[in-house]
Amino acid sequence: MRDLTGLEAWESPHLAKLDSGGLSGLTGDPDFIVSSADSSVLGESKVAAHAKSHRYSFEQFTKYQFLGSLLECARDPALRRSVAHLVLVPDPEPGRFSSDYKMWRPGVQDGRLIADLGDRTLIDQAERFSDLGSWREFLRRTLLDRRTQLSCEVDPERVVSLFRRNPGMPIPTFVVSWEALMVNVRSIAAELRLGNLDRATCRLESMAYGRDPDRDEAARADKFVAKSVVWMTPGAKRP
């Protein structure tokens, strides 16, 4: 797990005990983490560079909900964080970035991913839940399990409060396209006169969208992009 502000907080017993709590398979490992003293962003980065690497699944969504909830409800105030989950995608249209869209049909409203808690049937091989509502209850029940409380250092009162405050999913999920992110980064780079940062955004965007090396000088000069990245334009379906 990579923390952009230092590893010491994430080498804690709180996260080290996920295995002993039987939750390692339910939490996953974020692509990146941005932390402050009281909040964290858990990030999932999707690119169109390779087949299916631009796709986001319900399983990934649930893992971020679990991990974010553990941090929100940590018993130790030094470990506790207010959490948001960020998904970076080539195309912010749910039907294009979700690999199993027909099963759970997520939506995006004002940049926030919305999961309907209706009776839409979900497939779970372990038969722990059958729809989004019962999955939410499975998450709540697991966090309140005494073994989880002891092994993962969870405060049950904070679990109850978290679910009371959030009638939908406990951890907010935001969807941002690489194109929109790069626009903001370039604006900051220009304002602060950071030429290296501006050039780095070109490579990141090439990796995300696979800029056509025949028409993009920066992509043509980058051997990784020219040889490894599948071409995809913002808002377009993969060929």
Report the run of H or E that residue 40 belongs to, with start and end: strand 39-45
C-alpha–C-alpha distance, residues 29 and 212, integer Å: 31
Percent of the chain residues topping a pLDDT of 90? 35
User: Lowest-confidence range among 16-25, 201-210, 223-232?
Assistant: 223-232
Q: Taken in order 131, 133, 134, 136, is the CA torsion positive or negative? A: positive
C-alpha–C-alpha distance, residues 231 and 212, integer Å: 6
C-alpha–C-alpha distance, residues 139 and 148, integer Å: 11
Q: What mean pLDDT comes out for the span 11-21?
A: 55
Strand order across the beta sheet in which 112-114 lies: 32-35, 39-45, 82-89, 173-177, 112-114, 107-109
pTM of the model: 0.79
